[in-house]
Structure formats: C-alpha cells, structure tokens
Amino acid sequence: MSIILSLAGLALFLSRRKAPEIRQTDPAVKDLAGAINAYKQINRRAVRPLPPAEAVGGAIAGLVRAVDEFSMYVPPDQTADFARRLSGRRSGTGLRIVEAGDRLVVIGPEPDSPAHEAELFAGCQILAIGDVPAEDLTLRDARRRLNAAPGKTVTIRVRRPDGVRLTRDLETVDLHFPTVVGIVRGASGQWDHSVDQAGGIVYVRIREFVKQTCRDFDAFYRRLDEPAGLILDLRGNPGGSLPPAAELADGFCREGLIVRTTGPAGSNTYTAHADGTYPPVPVVVLIDGGTASAAEIVAGALRVHRRAALIGAESYGKFCLQTNFDLGYGLGRIHLTTAWCMLARSAGSAEPAPDPPAEPDTARAPLTTRAGRDRRPRLRPDVAVTLPVRVARRLRQWRARASVMPAPAGFRTTAPRPAELKALILERDEQLARAIRWLRDGERLPPDAPAAEPEARRTP
C-alpha cells in the first residue's frame, strides 16, 4: 500500500496536483527512485510525453499486476460500474444482442427493463444505435452503448421479424442481475428448475456470488417440494464475494471447517453450523475451467464434507481472496489479493489443506496441481466429462438466450421458444446429463483419500 501511494504521490507532485503527504525519509521513496527516473526519461525522450494522470494510472496498474494475475486496478471512471457489479447490479437498457453473420440481432430483453417495456424481443435486427448504422458498429461497441451508465438515453432503430421498422428511445438504468437462475425462463419470465420431473431432480445455476445470492438461493430452496436430487451448476462462475459463498456452503454442512483464509492481516475461519442446515438431499455440483475463487470454495467444501459429487472438468484454480479498497486522492480503487483460501483435508480435520497442496496420492483426492510452472491448486471432479469446444460455445449461446424474456405467443420470431431451448440444452449438455444419471441411479461418493502432507505456505 505504501509503495503504491508513494509512486502515486511523487508522480502527482510532478504534476503540481494535490498529493498524499509522504516524507522523503519514507523507505518507499528510495525503493521507487528507479520508477521516478524512468518517468522523467520517458518525458524527455518519448515522441508523446506521458501526461501525469496517465503516468500515475499506468504505474498503479503495473504495481498491482506485479502482485499476481488476479489483482486489478480500477481507474476512477470505472469505479461506479465496478461497485454496481459487486453489489449484483448492472446498468444499461436491458437489451441483449449477439452477432449473426454480418448482422447484429436481439436475443431478448432483461425482465422489467426499458428494452422489455419497448417490446424488443428475439429476432429483431439492429439497424442503428444513435446516429451510427449497425454496419459501422462492432458487437463490443454496440454493447458498450446499450450498457452505458444510468441516466442516458439511447435511440435504437430495429427491424422486427415481420419487417416492421421501429425507432425507440431507451433509458439506461440500474438493472438487477439475478445470480440464482434455472435452466430456462418460462413464458411469463419465471425460471424453470426441473430437469427430470419424473425423477424429482431439480437444477439451479449460480452465476456469481454477491450479497443477495444466499437470500435468493434460500428462497428457491424453500419452495422445493422434497426433491430427490439437486444439481448445483457452478460452471463459468468467476467467484465473487467469499462471505455469501461460505454461507451457502454452511447451508449444506452441519459442522466443521468450510474455509480458512490467511494473509498479512491475519486469519479468518468460516465454519458450518447445524442450525438452518438444508435437508440431506443428494447433490451434484457441476464445475469446469471457469469455476473460480468463491465458487471453488463452495464446490470444494461440499466435496470435503461429502455432501456433493463433483462432475465436469478441473476448476480454474483461484484459491485466494481479493480485498477492494479506495486509494483516495481521486486515484480509483484496487482489487488486491490479500489472503490465501484453504479447504479442510477432510470433514473431521482440525487443520486446513496446505496451499499449494501436495500432489494427491490417489485419483479420489478433491485437489490436484499441474506440473511445471502452473502450480495452482484445482478441484478435480469425481466424474470427468469434457465438452467439445464447439458444444461448449453453443451451450453458452443457448443459456444466454434462455436467460432473457421470451417473445410472447403473438410475436413473430424464428428464435427457439423456451421449451425448445430447454430440450436443446438437455440434449447437448453431457455434463448435465451425467449429473442427472448420477442422481437418478443413486450413485454414492467414493471413499476419501488420505490427507496429503502440508507444504510450506506462501505469503502473498
């Protein structure tokens, strides 16, 4: 922290702006003398001298990146959007679009959004956004305009599937981003969670862990009528906030360690409690290379406590905790790795598993590491099912279509209806199909592997 403020303060001093008060005797000033010298030489020699504000931002971003690949610098103009995301909200018009050949087409609106009120449903072709024709817009540019900060008006011209051309003025607003979802939205926008009605198997996907995730999951779970099995889909979940993730795991475990964090600021322990524990329904957790951070904690804790089988592919490997804090002086925020996260060796162990963990002795161990430079600990599934890249891409597209409001019955569209989308997903998603078969056949978890010996722990 002192290093970052020192460099920022010295660079701001050079620009005659108000800077943090840093004494010349501060060791960090000497530590960063080389960086300040580089700044001076760049401004003397570069074809385009660096403005002080750009130099400061670049210096902070470089320092943060040097910590690890997970830490990030959030510039001042992005802090509001970053805070909205952490709170489980997004901004924009609520219109979701994709590229289809050389056209930009609508896949649907978010529920209760300006795009929903304007009845812009799947199949509409984008003709222009503002005064820019669609052919002059990339998909990224178009999405940036549609998802602008609240308080703006976006004029959009579209052609409906019946050929009618429309012009609509859409306001950009704060939108609720649901993190607890089903397999597809029904005609009225409600989520469908049933994947095997005859077998009583239900499905729920958590897209990210934010403050209200546990509340929404609890509301979903309490509505269930004694399901025979639950599939918890954490694929593509980048993590999010650790406390709600630990709380969710607590709901499935009666006692013992869920996760321990340790770093320069000390340690923190999350444990399970018997009060409020969900009924012992068989659970399968779906994981893949996009399952990271808090999502890995949930999946790993449920596996350690023998509350769930893991099916899919190895997880991403991000067993660390980020802290988000303001730098002050109008410099923005930092999302910094401040602690390591460790699972228990087993449900009855008093000590957490090491970080990085030792190479597991058997294929049944829940954690594994790869050889060479990539030593990140990853969750290993009990049943490995790999999806072909093309299938995985198509499934992501179908899930995106399944998450928006479907077109009403009288709206002409060539897009698949909810029932068609559900059938396509169930047919092509082999990881989900394997989870359904696991629960339907009543398979049980294999015995736990012996605990690995601890290695020396790194300090972030």
Distance CA 344, CA 300 (A): 9
* Contact between residue 345 and residue 259 where contact means Cβ atoms under 8 Å apart: no
In-domain check, residue 82: no
Low-confidence ranges of the chain (pLDDT < 70): 1-25, 348-375, 447-460
Out of 176, 208, 228, pick the residue that ends a domain: 176
Instruction: Tell me: do 163 and 185 sit in the same domain.
Output: no
* Contact between residue 49 and residue 43 where contact means Cβ atoms under 8 Å apart: yes
Instruction: Tell me: do 308 and 347 sit in the same domain.
Output: yes
Instruction: Tell me: do 360 and 317 sit in the same domain.
Output: yes
Out of 14, 35, 67, pick the residue that ends a domain: 67
Question: Could you check whether the bond before residue 356 is cis, i.e. omega within 30 degrees of 0?
Answer: yes
**CA 217 from chain center: how many Å?**
16
In-domain check, residue 113: yes
Instruction: Tell me: do 207 and 168 sit in the same domain.
Output: no
In-domain check, residue 417: no
Helices (H) then strands (E): counts for the chain = 13, 24
In-domain check, residue 449: no
- CATH for 109: 2.30.42.10
In-domain check, residue 285: yes
Instruction: Tell me: do 101 and 166 sit in the same domain.
Output: yes
Instruction: Tell me: do 59 and 206 sit in the same domain.
Output: no
Instruction: Tell me: do 198 and 280 sit in the same domain.
Output: yes
* Contact between residue 337 and residue 239 where contact means Cβ atoms under 8 Å apart: no
Q: Write out the two tokens for 89.
A: 């909200």
In-domain check, residue 346: yes
* Contact between residue 196 and residue 284 where contact means Cβ atoms under 8 Å apart: no
Determine the pLDDT at residue 239: 93
In-domain check, residue 330: yes
Domain that holds residue 127: 89-176
Q: Write out the two tokens for 174.
A: 């704060």
Distance CA 3, CA 15 (A): 19
In-domain check, residue 448: no
Helix, strand, or coil (residue 263): strand
Instruction: Tell me: do 103 and 167 sit in the same domain.
Output: yes
Instruction: Tell me: do 264 and 349 sit in the same domain.
Output: yes
Entry pTM: 0.86
Out of 118, 151, 176, pick the residue that ends a domain: 176
Distance CA 55, CA 37 (A): 12
Determine the pLDDT at residue 374: 58
Instruction: Tell me: do 293 and 201 sit in the same domain.
Output: yes
Alpha-carbon dihedral of residues 354, 359, 360, 363, nearest 10 degrees?
Answer: 140
- CATH for 272: 3.90.226.10
Nearest to 301 by CA among 242, 356, 360: 242
Structural domains in the chain (count): 3
Instruction: Tell me: do 172 and 188 sit in the same domain.
Output: no
Distance CA 115, CA 170 (A): 7
Instruction: Tell me: do 94 and 193 sit in the same domain.
Output: no
